[in-house]
Amino acid sequence: MCMYKMGVIGDKDSILGFKALGLSVFPVTQPEQAARLIHRLAKENYAVLFITEPIAKDIQETIDRYSAQPFPIITLIPNNAGSIGLGMKGVKASVEKAVGVDILFGERG
Partner 1 sequence: MAVMRVNPTRMELTRLKNRLQVAVRGHKLLKDKRDEMMRRFIDLIKRNKELRERVEQKLTLAFKDFLMARAVMSSEVLEEAIMFPTRKVEIKPSIGNIMGVTVPVIEYKEVTDRELSPYPYSFAATSAELDGAIAAFSDILPLMVELAQIEKTCQMLADEIEKTRRRVNALEYVVIPQLKETIRYITMKLDENERGNRTRLMKVKDMLEKKDATI
The distance from CA 46 to its chain's CA centroid, rounded to whole angstroms, is 13
**Number of residues near partner 1 (by CB under 8 A):** 41
Nearer to partner 1, 32 or 64 (CB): 64
Under 8 Å between Cβ of 25 and 18: yes
Shortest Å distance, C-beta 38 to partner 1: 14
Shortest Å distance, C-beta 14 to partner 1: 6
Under 8 Å between Cβ of 95 and 104: yes
87 is an interface residue for partner 1 by CB under 8 A = yes
Under 8 Å between Cβ of 6 and 50: yes
What x-and-dash track marks residues 11-50 binding partner 1 by CB under 8 A? --xx-xxxxxxxx-----------------------xx-x
88 is an interface residue for partner 1 by CB under 8 A = yes
Nearer to partner 1, 32 or 85 (CB): 85
Task: Measure Cα distances from 21 to 7, 16, 18, 24 in Å.
Answer: 11, 10, 5, 9
